[in-house]
Structure 1
Amino acid sequence: MVTIKQIAKAVGVSSATVSRVLNYDPALSISPAKRQAVIETAEALNYETPRNRNRGAKNGGARASGARGGQAPGSHPDDNRLPRLALVHFLEPSEELSDPYYIGVRLGIENRCKDLKTEIIKVYHSDDLPSPALLQGATGVIVVGKHSAREIDWLKPNSRHLVFADFNPRRDDIDCVFCDLGAATRGLLDNLDATGYQRIGFIGSFENIDGHAEPYGEQRCRSYIDWCREKGRFDEDLLVLGNICDSGQNLRLETGYMLAQKLLAVAPLPDAIVTANDNMAIGAYRAIQEAGLSIPEDIAVVSFNDIPVAQFMNPPLSTVRIGGEHVGEAAVDLLLEQIAGRDFNKKVIIPTRMIWRQSSRAPEGQVPTSAE
């Protein structure tokens, strides 16, 4: 059960102040912003005043949601409704199910909300923007994944509190949490270079912005190009890209397979292939093995995400671990900070971690990880 002390800590006031706000003490001197922060934090954490708990017991255990808006506890007609957060996802449900990373992001959000006893309403991608009433009726909104400037401009004024997860909108007025995949790509390439790989290919996807494909905008691809040019080793034949959402379907496995076939037609062959995600790596494995080549003896394969199946591939896949669940959890925490009254914006970067397995040579001092 959430306590007054926990609410006081979240908002940065004394427990006595929280108690007086929630009991609507008219003699209390406090700024309107701080008073609202106390009320909204109590709502988000599903705090129940003793008065509401006693009323619930008398009524057969019916649960009240505590302080809401500017109303006295118990006086709002919707007082039995749990406080709500809205999750707006850039993928359709079928697309999300084929991508374990984004399932992890969503589970991180849902599990954090479950711990806080906060209701979460999920709104998946469609051709239409969500209902303004749905967003405006939520205490806060978490937006998962990449959205266009037009969508961001619409979401901002229609959300009481707003956080982007797994996307940096590059705006100073919006909270976001993400992993720096550009820096992770450079680190990965530095390690491959240090272990002797010289001819490194890349399999990735187009950046889709407002319905238009930008060939080299995706940050892993951009970092790969920049790194290769700095080394004087950029070869256009070693860079193959495709659309991961052809015909509205998530085709990352098939896309990885088809793009790897194109890369294997290049002479001389690459000695290592970097794929933008583990699903693409699975497709690349098939293409390499069908060509009669061996991993990693003929071609090394490294990737991103560290989905659960990566450690059970043959050979186990070297991959950059991206903490999807941590991204989701941090997004909820940022939202709670906003609700508690934080009046400046934050960008949180969740670190990545390279997991070396048997699909490539590991740098000196790094022991390949066995199945976990």
Structure 2
Amino acid sequence: MVTIREIARAVGVSSGTVSRVLNYDPSLSISEPKRKAIIETAEALNYETPRSRNRLKMAPLRAANRMPGLQQLATVHFLEADEELIDPYYIGVRLGIERRCRQFDADIIKVFHADLASSAALLESMAGVIVIGKHRPADIDFIASHNRHVVFADFVPKDENFDCVFSDLGAATRTILDGLKHAGYQRIAFIGAHDRIDEPCQPYSEVRCRAYVDWQKANGTFDPALIALNDDCNNGQNLKLEVGYEQARTLLSNDIRPDVIVTANDNIAIGTARAALEAGLTIPDDIAIASYNDIPVAQFLNPALSTMKIPGEAIGETAVDLLAERINGREDYAKRVTIPTTMIWRDSCRPPKDR
């Protein structure tokens, strides 16, 4: 397992600085390039840990030569550049794309959401486009109108004619909830956000929240007081540390607090832990936490975070493979590739009794 000391040595900073960056210490004064180097190095080193080496390794479609037709591609991100920096999961997706492109000797041009409207000529000049994360239908139509080879990474568009690669967050949610139930937890809360990509907004429409609600109703335990959702939604990142902190304070102020809180990603889990500690609660004895993504910092938290590992690197790699297939002649059908998830039980909650 990679250590903070190894990350510090690779970047050329102190172990304390690495720890504070990975724990999102707002009081730390550090340049953005150095912060980015620490986060990306942590993600890259995590790529080579025994845990990562044991995952399915996908061989490149060809040797490390330039793939015919795949000289230059664009990535279109639903985040902005500064938002990506604070979400190591999406850094992992990007690193997976970059790693596979190096194997194909292909170049990448990055387009963030704020620049999409002015990027028509750029998109038309690319061999293909990888769209990362959620995009509104109008944005998808714009991208598709300027490039015929489009693949979606970490998002399932409604149009089944597009290739996409993703992890099944609904199934992942059911796995987490089943595990917590078998561990003896009864009042299971959820912190997430409303999904306003499609209008009109439907209650509990975000896939993790929807799966949580459906599971609770199926078990006869649905209680809307156990759900706290961020309402500040747009195309950008809405699952931040601050969301976890504020929404957890709301949940923990209830007359009867939950036994465990499931958070929509690890950033929210970090904010939730801070709110719990400020309230004088201990984790996991007074309140337990489980989450999604397994970003590098998850294993360094105290207590270490139980989280569903979503293999962002593999999603990025597979998106490049799908794009290469499209560019090199596959036109008759689309592919929807599901990358499996794995629950990593650590110390922030009890594991299932049958584990």
Q: Do they superpose with TM above 0.5?
A: yes
- Preserved CA contact (<8 Å) 2:80 2:236: no
Over residues 16-49 of structure 1, what are the superposed CA-to-partner deviations in whole Å (9 max), with x where a residue is unaligned? xxxxxxxxxxxxxxxxxxxxxxxxx99x9526xx
- Preserved CA contact (<8 Å) 1:98 1:250: no
Aligned to 1:308: 296
Over residues 205-226 of structure 1, what are the superposed CA-to-partner deviations in whole Å (9 max), with x where a residue is unaligned? 1112268765411100011011
Aligned to 1:106: 94
Over residues 254-303 of structure 1, what are the superposed CA-to-partner deviations in whole Å (9 max), with x where a residue is unaligned? 11011000000112111111000111111111111111111111111000
Aligned to 1:46: 66
Aligned to 1:190: 178
- Preserved CA contact (<8 Å) 1:108 1:328: yes
> d(CA) in 2 for partners of 1:117 and 1:192?
45
Aligned to 2:81: 93
Return the match for 2:137 from 140, 146, 149.
149
Alignment of 1:21-36 (within 5 A): none
Give the secondary-structure state (helix, strand or coil) at the position aligned to 1:185: helix
Aligned to 1:176: 164
Alignment coverage as a number of residue pairs: 293
Alignment of 1:349 onto 2:338: yes
Larger-gyration structure (1/2): 1
Over residues 34-79 of structure 1, what are the superposed CA-to-partner deviations in whole Å (9 max), with x where a residue is unaligned? xxxxxxx99x9526xxxxxxxxxxxxxxxxxxx87xxxxxxxxxxx
Give 1:249 shift. Answer: 7.5
Give the secondary-structure state (helix, strand or coil) at the position aligned to 1:189: helix
> d(CA) in 1 for partners of 2:202 and 2:194?
6
- Preserved CA contact (<8 Å) 2:197 2:235: no
Return the match for 1:199 from 173, 178, 187.
187
Give the secondary-structure state (helix, strand or coil) at the position aligned to 1:255: helix
Alignment of 1:47-86 (within 5 A): 83-86=71-74
- Preserved CA contact (<8 Å) 1:244 1:255: no
Give the secondary-structure state (helix, strand or coil) at the position aligned to 1:113: helix
Give 1:248 shift. Answer: 7.0
Over residues 94-126 of structure 1, what are the superposed CA-to-partner deviations in whole Å (9 max), with x where a residue is unaligned? 000000000111111111111211011100111
Alignment of 1:360 onto 2:327: no
Change (3 A) 1:237 1:309: same
> d(CA) in 2 for partners of 1:230 and 1:128?
42
Greater Cα offset, 270-279 or 357-366? 357-366
TM-score (norm 1): 0.74
Alignment of 1:241-260 (within 5 A): 241-243=229-231, 252-260=240-248
List structure 1 segments (4+ residues) > 4 angstroms apart after TM superposition.
210-215, 244-251
Return the match for 1:326 from 303, 314, 339.
314
Change (3 A) 1:157 1:128: closer
Return the match for 1:136 from 124, 129, 136.
124
> d(CA) in 2 for partners of 1:172 and 1:260?
37
TM-score (norm 2): 0.77
Alignment of 1:120 onto 2:108: yes
- Preserved CA contact (<8 Å) 1:123 1:130: no
Give 1:228 shift. Answer: 0.5
> d(CA) in 2 for partners of 1:140 and 1:315?
43
Give 1:312 shift. Answer: 1.1
- Preserved CA contact (<8 Å) 2:65 2:103: no
> d(CA) in 1 for partners of 2:151 and 2:235?
30
Change (3 A) 1:249 1:276: closer
Aligned to 1:240: 228
Give 1:244 shift. Answer: 5.8
> d(CA) in 2 for partners of 1:229 and 1:251?
25
Alignment of 1:274 onto 2:294: no
Give the secondary-structure state (helix, strand or coil) at the position aligned to 1:129: helix
Give 1:196 shift. Answer: 0.9
Over residues 158-189 of structure 1, what are the superposed CA-to-partner deviations in whole Å (9 max), with x where a residue is unaligned? 11311000000022210000111011001110
- Preserved CA contact (<8 Å) 1:323 1:350: yes
Q: Which residue identity does 1:116 align to in structure 2?
A: F
Q: Which residue identity does 1:312 align to in structure 2?
A: F
Q: Which residue identity does 1:150 align to in structure 2?
A: A
Greater Cα offset, 266-275 or 122-131? 122-131
Give 1:148 shift. Answer: 1.0
Change (3 A) 1:328 1:123: same
Give the secondary-structure state (helix, strand or coil) at the position aligned to 2:145: coil
Gaps of 5+ in 1: 1-40, 48-66, 69-81, 367-372
> d(CA) in 1 for partners of 2:184 and 2:124?
55
Over residues 137-160 of structure 1, what are the superposed CA-to-partner deviations in whole Å (9 max), with x where a residue is unaligned? 111110001111111122223113
Q: Which residue identity does 2:101 align to in structure 1?
A: C
Q: Which residue identity does 1:359 align to in structure 2?
A: S
